[in-house]
Structure 1
Amino acid sequence: MTVERVGVYGGGRMGAGIAHAFVVTGHDVTVVESTPETVSAAHERVEASVRKAAELGKLDHPVEKVLSRVRVTANPADLGDATLVVEAVPEIVDLKAGVLTSIEENAPSAVIGSNTSSLSIDSLASALARPENLIGLHFFNPVPASDLVEIVVGAATTSDLVERARAWVERLGKTAITVTDSPGFASSRLGVAIAMEAMRMVEEGVASAEDIDTAMTLGYKHPVGPLRTTDLVGLDVRLAIAEHLAREVSDRFTPPQVLRDKVAAGDLGRKSGRGFYDW
């Protein structure tokens, strides 16, 4: 099934990246933000991302033509003509549940994709009148450069919707993996486990952040080390996911004190200018 107009609810770094992925592959995209000020900022993020792609020779059409397919609004009713709406707000259960309900009310015929990286799809779907319409679409940061999308299948998700989601991901030029709804899914669970151990090694003085990351990039061919990845994702985001996994899976995911201390100090990674690295 062809997706003509896509909605993205949330125009932060992830939402803007998801909007980029769809608009450069020929979709019309509506981004919803909460205020006129955040509308402007979201539009600037998407435009900057598209223009960067043009500079790198990655656009098949002129910049202005691509950007003409993007609209950013503070009115959720503008999602009414979307075939697919992707929720891309922070990992806060009540916030996501409220946004998903708003999407369902304003785009009743749309499939809803949640960009959650760790929260239960079944739990989020319980707030909806049509839980079978929700599927997890976990994009990775930075979205334009990432090749992976994790499709998360809830108890109510139909096999037909899973196949449609795989086709949408393929049209974006990305690869899909499919996982059942479980805490942290596959990617966050593995990524957080490695990152927590790397932080404990820093805390214990085993090696510097740089040397630990180099061990993984050169020794195991990871493209980016776990601590630099944490800085890119955001230390606050990693902390929230680790706490969730510690509650739902095992205390082996309990965040080390060094992570709590950095978040308390406002050292959140690249977005704040400092994390395990200076940016």
Structure 2
Amino acid sequence: MHTTSLTPYARLPHAHAQRHVLHSTVDAFGRAHWLLTDRAPGDNPYDATVVTVDAGRIEETRLSAVTARYPMLDALPDGGFVVADARRRGGGDHVQVFDPLGRPSWSFAVGDGIEHLLADETGDLWLGYFDEGVFGDDPLSHAGLRRWSSTGEALWELPRSTADGCMADCYALNTWQGEAWACYYTDFPLVRVRGDGSVRVWDSPVAGARATAVHSGGVAFFGGYGQEKDRLVLCTLTERTAAPYLHSTLVRPDGSPVGSRRVLARGPRLYVQAEPYTAWETWDLAAAA
């Protein structure tokens, strides 16, 4: 069996290891962030701390009056942060933008059922939605994949005319250098969205992937159903399809299985965070090409 090893990337400082990890991400500039509290959030606004690890440098930003019960975090180019509640309750605003000092600046709504929240290098927000959002009562999430400004302006949504299958659940989302890449249920096409909103679709042989890394005409699909949850499939993009040339199993740096994880992709890099979610590990398609 062919295996591919992750490498260590960033670790939450030991001083914060006992705090409650609400969410964690790696932003468009490669900085790792953890959103922390002393206890799980309830219905009332709460304070939280963002711990940022950037090439060994550590920063802390205290966010005040966070409202998200199921928070998703990303960083903005100006040093601020965006926190979205994955579930929109009662039709109100559920996305908060915080300035670099952690103060709430404004809020807006983007729709229910957020599966992915990725801010790109310009600060625009790419949102992928799961099935309860796509088929639910909130029209803001029915497209399944949308782009918003960091002030809440709707900029783009996946056209219903997009070929190769219905968007029922956005399984994978990647943003990199002005483009977004997505893979979604039911037929799992690979979709590229350019900055001008134009869409190109490739057929994919991989079902159930939870992340896609892209580089120079190639793509790597990570994840799958059942025993294929740690599967890594490397493909070359042809005119119409993603043609596989290597099947592998992604493992931890010590060779152990990944287990329960969070995973995201930025351009050619996969980032994997195994339970208890205090460290990020990475694999780079560009280095493997």
TM-score (norm 2): 0.32
TM-score (norm 1): 0.33
Answer 1 or 2: which has greater helix percent: 1
